[in-house]
Homo-oligomer: A and B are copies of this chain.
Amino acid sequence: MSTKIKIINDPVYGFINMPQATNYRIVEHPWFQRLRQIRQLGLAFLVYPGATHTRFQHVLGANHLTNLAINVIRSKGFFINEDEANAVCAAILLHDIGHGPFSHALENVLIENIKHETISEIFIERINKEFDGELSLAIEIFKNQYKKNFLHQLISSQLDMDRLDYLKRDSFFTGVSEGVIGSDRIINMLNVIDDKLVVEEKGIYSIEKFLIARRLMYWQVYLHKTVLAAEQMLIHIIKRAKELINNNYSLQMPPALFNFFKNKYSENDFRNEPEVLKQFAKLDDNDLLSYIKLWADCNDEVLSQLCSRFVNRQLLKIEMQNSKFDENKIEKYLNNASKKLNISKDDAKYFVFTDFATNNAYNATDDHINILFKSGEIKDITDASDMLNLQTLSKNVVKYFFCYPEECRV
């Protein structure tokens, strides 16, 4: 008698409805379920204990916002048919399916030279085959090949539903209340002009706030120095483990992981060899967290040390500054680490290293956040706002960091 509506309890938005049949099949797919095991914020939970939320929650939330946005846009007189609505929702549900263990933290480390967006795309195409082409329109929109450009913008642009959800969700779970954004308000101010998403004039302050919040979340959470130190340790653990494997050192690990350590798969391999994607789909956060505990007991001094510090949260010290670190300082620390840890200077580079992190909260060259004035005029937010700093926001900020074991400080 009553149609089944799938309802999900979400701590951020309350109840979430997922009415479309196709989309529910997506959620049930094992590859999608895997996202339950991939934390949204990698290792941020080591600083913000609440931040154990997953990609699974995030894409459901982004799907919810997309539904809201579709309703708003329809209410302003734009026709979006049911197939299009389902397809955008499918696309947003699947946009992160290509993430590997610890999301961004290990991007380009576990699998080199292939971005998660590319892997997402390959996953979607594979599922589309299983679904007999039901996702073809979603793929067109995902790749921005569909005529209605603004539908793509909903899933990928400066103001997409992805960002609206993750800022709100990450603020919520980290407890960093300053990151809270008015996603409701922004969505209600959306409109479409010349096939582009625009924000109505009344939403200017909300957009300013959104950009500032994003910047704040970058420095306070995403690039928090302790989080960075932990991620760098994880990266160096993976690098060392790979090196050992490729030197035929025996290290307990799941076959799928061994596979990716041993072989450098290209994008083409991912596209053309179904087994590669299948293996990739077997990996999640749990594997690394579980095996790193084992590796802490291995014979390789470097890997064992790195892993045992990581497991016990005895993280490397990290310094951050706006300019490069002095070569002499690094040299001195390396020498000291080699001596103190009783390892070669080359091996010491797993403990003493420098690199940089960057963010730009608004990228004006990329695409634009357009403000629609009552007069009909459209301006980029950096022109529309009388806060000059938005131009500052659009500049890359680069921060250099330098890591070392506390006891090796010189």
Our pick among B7, B28, B37 for the contact of A289 (Cβ within 8 Å) is: B37
A181-B184 contact given A3-B75, A60-B49, CB 8 Å threshold = no
| A180 is an interface residue with CB less than 8 A from chain B | yes
Contact A11 B388, beta carbon cutoff 8 Å: no
User: Could you give 29 example pairs across A and B, Cβ below 8 Å?
Assistant: A2-B76, A3-B75, A3-B76, A7-B188, A8-B49, A9-B48, A9-B175, A9-B176, A10-B50, A10-B175, A11-B173, A11-B174, A15-B184, A33-B311, A36-B45, A45-B54, A49-B56, A50-B53, A50-B57, A176-B182, A254-B293, A254-B294, A282-B293, A287-B293, A290-B290, A290-B291, A387-B393, A389-B389, A389-B392
CA distance A254 to B2 in the complex (A): 48
Contact B290 A11, beta carbon cutoff 8 Å: no
User: Which has the most chain B C-beta neighbours within 10 Å: A56, A177, A388, A393?
Assistant: A177
B-contact 0/1 string along A295-329, CB 8 Å cutoff: 00000000000000001110000000000000000
Closest 5 CB pairs of A and B: A389-B389, A9-B175, A2-B76, A286-B289, A30-B312
| A5 is an interface residue with CB less than 8 A from chain B | yes
Contact A178 B191, beta carbon cutoff 8 Å: no
Residues of B within 8 A of A77 (CB): 1-3
B-contact 0/1 string along A274-297, CB 8 Å cutoff: 000000001011110111011000
Our pick among B54, B76, B176, B387 for the contact of A52 (Cβ within 8 Å) is: B54
Contact B14 A175, beta carbon cutoff 8 Å: yes
Contact A182 B177, beta carbon cutoff 8 Å: yes
Residues of B within 8 A of A19 (CB): 75
Residues of chain A whose beta carbon lies under 8 Å from any beta carbon of chain B: 1-3, 5, 7-12, 14-15, 19, 28, 30, 33, 36-37, 45-46, 48-50, 52-54, 56-57, 60, 75-77, 172-178, 180-182, 184-185, 188, 191, 200, 205-206, 208-209, 212-213, 215-216, 219-220, 254-255, 282, 284-287, 289-291, 293-294, 311-313, 386-390, 392-393, 397
Residues of B within 8 A of A10 (CB): 49-50, 175
Known A-B contacts: A177-B182, A177-B184. Give 15 more (CB < 8 A). Answer: A3-B76, A9-B175, A11-B173, A30-B313, A36-B49, A37-B289, A52-B57, A176-B182, A178-B185, A209-B216, A212-B212, A286-B289, A286-B290, A388-B388, A388-B389
Our pick among B182, B200, B209 for the contact of A212 (Cβ within 8 Å) is: B209
In the complex, the chain B residue whose C-beta lies closest to that of A173 is: B11
The minimal Cβ–Cβ distance linking A297 to chain B, given in whole angstroms, is 8
The minimal Cβ–Cβ distance linking A77 to chain B, given in whole angstroms, is 6
Residues of B within 8 A of A180 (CB): 177-178, 180
CA distance A88 to B45 in the complex (A): 26
The minimal Cβ–Cβ distance linking A60 to chain B, given in whole angstroms, is 7
